[in-house]
Structure 1
Amino acid sequence: MATIKDVAKRAGVSVATVSRVINLSPQTRPDTVESVKSAMKELGYRPNAAARTLVSKKSLAIGVVVADVSDPFFGTLVKHVDTMALQQGHHLLIGNGYHKKEREKQAIESLIQNQVGAFIIHSKALDDDTLLAYAAENEAMVFINRLIPGLEDRCIHLDNYRGAYLATEHLIQQGHKAIACISSNHDIEDSQQRRRGYLDALKAHGLGQHDCSRETLGWIATGWPDEQGGEDAMLKLLKDSKQITAVFCYNDVMAAGAITAITDNAYRVPEDISVVGFDDSLIARYLHPKLTTVRYPIEEMAAQAAELAISLSNNKQSLATNGGYKPTLVRRQSVQRV
């Protein structure tokens, strides 16, 4: 396979000159451009990203850090970043942080070492000061699902607290009083905010007398934020609090696990126990019954993050005039009035 060095040798020019031709530099003489293009055609050479950055010093790669790309939520995020990136001639490099400080740091450092041109970072374990330092050194670094003071114009985020409040309030409006919560066991702000939204909605409607001891009383169960974690948490709730008539779940996949536990134990959804999820992921529309959930517009957020990161990498003015997204409730068939 021909290399940029082969093209330079055939055309009788330097590698830097070939790079200038590839990058459409106006400083290259027309006859030199023709000579280089002819050599490329003869050798069957196709420019790659590395060649295009030799002169511009800008990589056409976008570095994306997520918790776990195998999670459907993060898979959707990556997919929509990739769609936007391809439209603008970029490609992706992906790192997993697993909500752990060292892993997130390693993932970000790896992308920096690979000289990516733009970054989209989903970080929950690293503190604000660490991320501020990274952002100061990398002007095209955008943060998703995180609001960092001082970097508001580079943050794309959702009001998780409001989403949980909406979900719980909806159950209350349907007459439910014995409302449990299935929460993620990851000690991240999303879990904290959604749990607080749940508790505050109960309190606002006179159902929060036992906020401080609600978990010990069996009203809150935690688990790994996947189907198995949701199933295990629901089984614990059924064992500890048989009077439950509704449950708010941290995300849709945990809700799917909860529904399995409910139906496996001869209860019905929603006739016996109503269920609300969070995210409005694809699975919500294919569960039986279809899942009432809080919509997390990750598709739009990922696209905006990609557009902003690419814009910043091209030294254009920030586009994040409003990076804050509001959750909405999507009503389906998993909630019934009591």
Structure 2
Amino acid sequence: MSTIKDVATRAGVSFTTVSHVLNNSRPVSAEARRRVLEAVDEIGYLPSAVARSLRTSETKIVGVLVPNVQNPFFAELVCGVEESCRLAGYSVFLCNSDNDPKRQQQYMRTLLEKRVDGLLLSSAGDDEALARIFKMARVPAVTVDRLVPGARADRVSVNNSQGAHNAVSHLLELGHQRIACISGPAEFEVSRERLQGWRSALQARGLPVDENLVIAGDFSSQGGYAAACRLLQAQRELPAAAKISAIFASNDLMAIGALRAAAEFGLAVPQQLSVIGFDDIELGSYVFPALTSVGCSIKALGQQAGQMLIERIDQPEAELRELLMTPSLVLRESTSAPSLGLGSSFKA
């Protein structure tokens, strides 16, 4: 691998002159600059980011830690983060914790050991351990849709309770009264907030909150499918008046799983069963029937989080900020007024 001294020899200048050209640290004659840049191209020299970081205490790298890169929500989020960071001259180091708190802690330590300039966290589990690491590291940080107690970090989040309330209110306005909820894991703040939105919408209409209609999923399409199958199986023996006519799933992947379960149970969506999700991932537009959802632009959410992180890096002592984004209802094909009834065409 070529070195700065190789460039200096090729260009016929001192290696300090090469350093000044590459780092714009001191004026250099036009002729010397030309020779240095030509030598760099000819021998394919790449400056050492490690050496530069030792000199400047900056790596121009930010760490991004997400719980599941297979979830389209986080893929879209990271695209937005990367765009903001790239425009500001930063590269992104992406880590996937796979919903494993221990792996999450390991990645946190790795990112901090790499001396990243900032950290963006959108993950789950073990708040106490995360708070200890944040306190130790004191690295500029932003969290997405979660609060790490005691951490000095800005936060970008979605109004999960309001979004869920709006989703269920949409179903109620269509005439549904028995609305089931496929929730996320109870230990996640996002799950609890979206479940509370389901409850508050029913209470606002003076309807009973039947906790038997809540079934936990894991935010995956497989988990949504399994939860919907259990839910629909339990409906078989109920009288018509007690059957559900709609499902609110706490994210779009679980709603997509519920669409598959409905098809296997011989139920037409939305004629016999309406399904609504949360997040408005791009994939929701292309399943059949296209998924009604609530959400805000996920890429814009990532862009805002990335921009906030860069601003925090530039102004580490500035007052902490919190940005709360309100989801909007996105109407597609998977919801309608109840018509045929859930029990009219169950497969045996």
Which band: TM-score by shorter chain? 0.7 to 0.9
* Structure 1 residue 115 displacement after superposition: 1.6
**1:273 aligned to 2:273?**
yes
Over 3 Å counting, the alpha-carbon distance change for 1:9 and 1:115 in structure 2 is farther
Tell whether the 8 Å contact from 1:2 to 1:44 is kept in structure 2 after alignment.
yes
TM-score, normalised with respect to structure 2:
0.84
- CA distance in structure 1 between the aligned counterparts of 2:128 and 2:142, rounded to whole angstroms: 13
Q: Does 1:231 align with 2:229?
A: no
* 8 Å contact from structure 2 (residues 105, 129) kept in 1: no
Identity among equivalent pairs (%): 33
Distance 1:42 1:258 in 2: 58
Task: Give matches, 1:184-199, under 5 Å.
Answer: 184-185=184-185, 187-199=187-199
The whole-number CA distance in structure 2 between the counterparts of 1:314 and 1:262 is: 51
Q: What's the counterpart of residue 264 of structure 2?
A: 264
Relative to 1, partners in 2 of residues 1:24 and 1:92: Cα closer, same or farther, differing over 3 Å?
same
State the SS of the aligned residue for 2:98.
coil
CA distance in 2, matches of 1:337, 1:152: 47
User: Shift in Å at residue 111 of structure 1?
Assistant: 0.9
Secondary structure (helix, strand or coil) at the match of 1:116 reads: coil
Q: In the aligned structure 2, how far is the partner of 1:4 from the partner of 1:95?
A: 32
- C-alpha deviation, 1:8, in angstroms: 5.1
- 1:164/1:229 CA distance change after superposition, 3 Å: same
Q: List per-residue Cα deviations over 1:104-163 (Å, max 9, x = no partner).
A: 221111111112222211132142684376267444211111245777871111111111
The question of whether the paired residues in 2 share the 8 Å contact of 1:19 and 1:55 is answered with no
Q: Which amino acid aligns with 1:60?
A: K
Residue 344 of structure 2 aligns with which residue?
none
**1:292 alignment counterpart:** 292
Distance, in Å, in 1 between the alignment partners of 2:112 and 2:164 is: 36
| Structure 1 counterpart SS, 2:134 | helix
Partner of 1:249: 249
Task: Tell me the distance in 1 between the aligned counterparts of 2:286 and 2:115.
Answer: 41
Could you say if the C-alpha distance between residues 45 and 298 of structure 1 is closer, same or farther in structure 2, counting changes exceeding 3 Å? same
Partner of 1:337: 337
Aligned to 1:165: 165
Q: Post-superposition shift, 1:311?
A: 2.9
SS for the counterpart of 1:323 is: strand
Give the structure 1 partner of residue 239 of structure 2: none
Question: Within 2, Cα distance between the matches of 1:324 and 1:142?
Answer: 13
Task: Please tell me whether the aligned partners of residues 50 and 59 of structure 1 are also in contact (alpha carbons under 8 angstroms).
Answer: yes
Aligned counterparts of 2:7 and 2:256: Cα–Cα separation in 1: 56
Alpha carbons of structure 1 residues 311 and 317: separation in structure 2 relative to 1, 3 Å: farther
CA deviation digits over 1:139-191, x for unaligned, max 9? Answer: 42111112457778711111111111111111111111111011123621111
Partners in 2 of 1:318 and 1:327 — Cα distance? 28
2:282 paired with 1:282:
yes
8 Å CA contact retained: 1:65, 1:120: yes
The one-letter amino acid paired with 2:45 is Y
Alignment: residue pair count:
330
Q: What is the deviation of 1:322? A: 5.6
Give the residue type in structure 1 aligned to 2:77. L
Partner Cα separation in structure 1 for residue 50 and residue 69 of structure 2 = 26
The one-character-per-residue Cα deviations of 1:194-218 (angstroms, maximum 9, x if unpaired) are: 11111222122222354xxx1xx3x
Which residue does the alignment assign to 1:65?
A: 65
* Distance in 1, Cα, partners of 2:284 & 2:145: 21
* Distance in 2 separating the partners of 1:201 and 1:132: 37
Q: Following TM superposition, by how much is the alpha carbon of 1:229 offset from its aligned partner in structure 2, in angstroms?
A: 1.0
User: Does the C-alpha gap of structure 1 residues 258 and 5 become closer, same or farther in structure 2, counting only changes over 3 Å?
Assistant: farther
Distance 2:218 2:199 in 1: 20
Name the aligned partner's letter for residue 189 of structure 1.
Answer: E
Residue 2 (structure 2) aligns with: 2
TM-score with structure 1 setting the length: 0.86
- Shift, 1:193, TM fit: 1.0
Q: What is the CA-CA distance between 1:279 and the residue it aligns to?
A: 0.6
Distance in 2, matches of 1:299 and 1:21, equals 37
Native 8 Å contact 1:19 1:52 kept in 2: no
Compared CA separation, residues 152 and 108, structure 1 to 2 (3 A): closer
Cα distance change of structure 1 residues 19 and 136 upon mapping to structure 2, 3 Å threshold:
farther
After superposition, the C-alpha distances for 1:74-105 in whole angstroms (9 at most, x for unaligned) are 11111222222332332221112233332222
